[in-house]
Structure 1
Amino acid sequence: MRRFLTRLATVAVASATLAAPAVPVTAAAAPGLSFHPLHYNINGYNWGGYAATGSNFTSVSASWTEANATCNSSNDLYAPWVGIDGYSSSTVEQTGVETDCSSGSPVHQAWYEMYPANPVYLSRSSYPVSAGDHITASVNYVSGSTYTLKLTDSTRGWTYSTNKSLSSRRASAEVIIESPTGAYPNFGTLNFTSATVNGSSLGSYGPVALDPSNGAYEARTSALGSSGTSFSETYLRE
């Protein structure tokens, strides 16, 4: 991701799939940094969550409630996301919501990225996200080099879906939180639910558990629930 992005008020809007293209934001103009598919930052892990490894991954999806984060500093930035390829490849197909503290207050913005291309940020007026919103994200391999990336805010009543192409290995599938700056806002506890890979539970793939660290652990990843489809991320420090 743009290292990174992520999330999602109770407004009644007719539920519809909106296929109008989002406007790309260049790295220089982006509200955050880019989420690159690296599982280390300068000082340690910058990912928290689970990565399934293997081959021929075709889908990943998960849901969460956007956290009511508190900014510790203007450097704080993080995003929950789902993706294919990021852990085991030099490419990644991913989508989620970022929380950016560069203004001094948390700003949530939906995005997707087909790395190494720059991330695409969705218009906050057309695809608004607030703390407390219920988000569902998915990445599906279609065929050839084509993927469908889909993000739904069921609280706001919108869905964004797009088809994009990228030559990739499909060697991993991830459900992740990430801070590209290595500085997390205080998001409390974020719960991932309905986490599936290739239509089966995330846990059925024996995924690798990751705890983000920047000299010291910044968040803690829980064990997977009994169904293998849920886990939590708990904030520890910036």
Structure 2
Amino acid sequence: MSPRSRTLALLATTALSLATALSATAPATAASHYHGSHARKHADNIWGGYVTYGSTFKTVSGTWNIPALDCTNNKGIASPWVGLDGWDSDTVEQIGIDFDCSTGKPQYNTWVEMYPQNSIYFSEPVQAGDSMTGTVTDNGSHRFTLTLSDPTKGWTKTYQKTLSSSTSVNAEAIMEPIGSGSVPTLAKFGPMQFTGVTVDGQPISSYATHQSTVTRGTTVLATTGALSGSAFAMTWRHA
């Protein structure tokens, strides 16, 4: 092999190795998170959690634990997040994390999204047992601050985003399956609870709320526990 051929072969091998490494660390899914309530359209309901309505809202914040995943015979994704809009509007300003079994092994992928734009994933260390807090704030003039933090690991990510069609008519804390199909496969997650869910500084229970359970037809995928002040549990039932 000539020196030039050897160099080209080495460059090709290096490029392939780099591409493989990047694909191994990239999140398995970059799909957009759902923007509205299937409950308003048909029997399937893809959001689980609580949504405020009947006013406009400035900020929503909530904390949730990162549970263990059981990816045995399950390649679904479960995504908890907090956000504004989406139930009575066509936009969502949201930030959260995917509990991802799509590769057959547990992964945790953090993201921010200004629907209808796609999610932006970012790499920060997260593992089962951590606690996570998300906050979305409407700063006026369709400008938003979206923050996600992992106090267990000691990191915080903050984004400044603009969405001209936003209305901030809802505030929510949600668990949602992500993927293809009207109601995708839901990753099997362990015990999980939202706590400290506040809207404009008050417990979410201070407002008119809609309680939503994740279903596919008559099959319940995840149940939403009773709202106690600013806390409620999400329980996996079916993929």
Q: How does 1:30-49 map to 2 (within 5 A)?
A: 31-32=28-29, 33-40=31-38, 44-49=44-49
Name which of 137, 141, 164 aligns with 2:138.
141
Match of 1:14 in 2: none
Instruction: Report the residue type matching 2:81 in the other structure.
Output: W
In structure 2, how many angstroms separate the alpha carbons of the residues matched to 1:74 and 1:233? 18
Identity over aligned pairs, percent: 38
Pair 1:159-2:162 in alignment: no
Aligned-pair CA distance for 1:55 = 2.6
Aligned-pair CA distance for 1:231 = 0.4
In structure 1, how many angstroms separate the alpha carbons of the residues matched to 2:194 and 2:230? 8
Gaps of 5+ in 1: 1-28
Question: Counterpart of 1:213 in 2: which secondary structure?
Answer: strand
- Comparing 147-156 with 182-191, which one deviates more in the overlay? 182-191
Match of 1:223 in 2: 226
In structure 2, how many angstroms separate the alpha carbons of the residues matched to 1:88 and 1:196? 19
- Report if the CA contact (8 A) 1:96-1:111 is conserved: yes
Question: Counterpart of 1:112 in 2: which secondary structure?
Answer: strand
- Report if the CA contact (8 A) 1:72-1:185 is conserved: no
In structure 2, how many angstroms separate the alpha carbons of the residues matched to 1:221 and 1:89? 22
In structure 1, how many angstroms separate the alpha carbons of the residues matched to 2:94 and 2:72? 27
Q: How many residues align?
A: 205
Instruction: Report the residue type matching 1:81 in the other structure.
Output: W
Match of 1:111 in 2: 111
Match of 1:4 in 2: none
Match of 1:203 in 2: 205
In structure 1, how many angstroms separate the alpha carbons of the residues matched to 2:238 and 2:136? 30
Q: Deviations over 1:161-196 (max 9, x none)?
A: 011001211110110000023211221221100000
TM-score, normalised relative to structure 2: 0.82
Instruction: Report the residue type matching 1:177 in the other structure.
Output: M
In structure 2, how many angstroms separate the alpha carbons of the residues matched to 1:116 and 1:211? 23
Q: Deviations over 1:126-171 (max 9, x none)?
A: x111111110001001121100000000111100001100121111
In structure 1, how many angstroms separate the alpha carbons of the residues matched to 2:62 and 2:118? 23
In structure 2, how many angstroms separate the alpha carbons of the residues matched to 1:132 and 1:69? 11
Gaps of 5+ in 2: 1-25
Pair 1:128-2:130 in alignment: no
Aligned-pair CA distance for 1:30 = 5.6
Structure richer in helix, relative to its length: 2
In structure 2, how many angstroms separate the alpha carbons of the residues matched to 1:106 and 1:89? 33
Match of 2:68 in 1: 68
Question: Counterpart of 2:205 in 1: which secondary structure?
Answer: helix
Match of 1:25 in 2: none
In structure 1, how many angstroms separate the alpha carbons of the residues matched to 2:49 and 2:72? 22
Distance verdict in 2 for CA 1:129–1:30, change over 3 Å: closer
TM-score, normalised relative to structure 1: 0.82
In structure 2, how many angstroms separate the alpha carbons of the residues matched to 1:49 and 1:71? 23
- Report if the CA contact (8 A) 1:139-1:147 is conserved: yes
Which is bigger in relative contact order (C-alpha 8 A, separation at least 6)? 1
In structure 1, how many angstroms separate the alpha carbons of the residues matched to 2:61 and 2:110? 16
